[in-house]
Amino acid sequence: MSVAPLDKAAILAEALPYIRSFNGKTIVVKYGGNAMTDDKLKEDFAKDVVLLKLVGLNPVVVHGGGPQINDLLERVGKEGQFIQGMRVTDSETMDVVEMVLGGLVNKEIVSLINKHGGKAVGITGKDGHFIRASKLFLKSESDEQIDIGQVGDIEHIDPSLVALLDGHDFIPVVAPIGVGSNGEAYNINADVVAGKLAETLQAEKLVLMTNTPGVLDKQGNLLTGLTASKVDELFADGTISGGMLPKISSALDAAKSGVNSVHIIDGRVPHALLLEILTDAGVGTMIKAS
């Protein structure tokens, strides 16, 4: 049965079996910068996260902030440049990334969740050294290395900090910044952090909230039930580009590594998160290992 987004009684009736089956399980939610456009939607997102925690799930939020980084870069006279969906990050850009992700965006989400009755704690991978990274090199089509600066490749995620917070009823809110062996900061794509964290925590679900109804084909139709072989096809024929590249790769890796279900959903739909997790109304694209 599908329900209208704000039909509360119907949602509750549908939700009960899901609440029972997900009790105590971890759900990693990636909140993309493109889905944070509107104040009302941000409030709804925070309420949804609090409600999930209240009914016994363990939501772990990983946020992005690409557009918000672009805004501040523009204000300091710099232009964002992306290669294969990854930001070219020189040291000045890294400072801006750390200010925006570790500061502005992280604390805004923490405040909103706390305003609605949750106990959110904002962390970056530098806290407790929990996301260790080294420098990432991309590969060109002719297999040459491309240096994009201080962008990180995740070496290891230590699950104990997030587990500690979960165990004490806090809601972890993670900014996608990694730490190198000399304490240096690395900018990591938020989808990559969310995927790897979901894998490390062996989450029940990974939900990637963005600004499209899901993965679309070249005609704009919504694709769902994507498997590895279909994803390879979509990469090869150019259907998937830009920010969708790291998103799909991370989603697929997580699905292959034991995360039960992975979904790319439209964060611009009010309460999209609750609808995805607690009702039968699947909103978006589901990615499966095979």
Using CB under 6 A, pick the residue from 189, 239, 250, 279 that binds ligand X2W.
189
Piece of the chain touching ligand ADP by CB under 6 A; list 31-39, 95-103, 180-188, 254-262: 31-39
Using CB under 6 A, pick the residue from 211, 224, 227, 257 that binds ligand ADP.
211
Residue 65 in marked binding region? yes
**Residue 192 carries which DSSP code?**
H
**Residue (163 or 216) nearer to ligand ADP, CB:** 216
Q: Can you point out the beta strands (E) in 47-143?
A: 58-63, 82-83, 86-87, 120-124, 131-139
CB of 33 to ligand ADP, least distance (A): 4
Q: Characterize the bridge pairing of strands 177-179 and 171-175.
A: unpaired
CB of 93 to ligand ADP, least distance (A): 17
Piece of the chain touching ligand X2W by CB under 6 A; list 20-28, 58-66, 160-168, 224-232: 58-66
CB of 139 to ligand ADP, least distance (A): 20
- Residue burial 93-116, b: 16+ Cβ < 10 Å; e: rest: bbebbbebbbebbbebbbebbbeb
Q: Identify what 215 binds: ligand X2W, ligand ADP, none; CB under 5 to 8 Å per kind.
A: ligand ADP
- Residue from 69, 45, 58 nearest 19 by CA: 58
Using CB under 6 A, pick the residue from 26, 53, 64, 240 that binds ligand X2W.
64
Task: List the structure tokens of 175.
Answer: 């900014």
* Pairwise CA distance, residues 252 & 287, whole Å: 6
Task: List the structure tokens of 1.
Answer: 């049965």
What DSSP assignment string belongs to 19-69?
HHHHTT-EEEEEE-GGG---HHHHHHHHHHHHHHHHTT-EEEEEE--HHHH
CB of 169 to ligand ADP, least distance (A): 28
CB of 82 to ligand ADP, least distance (A): 9
Per-residue mark of binding to ligand ADP, 242-281 (x: CB under 6 A): xxx--x----------------------------------
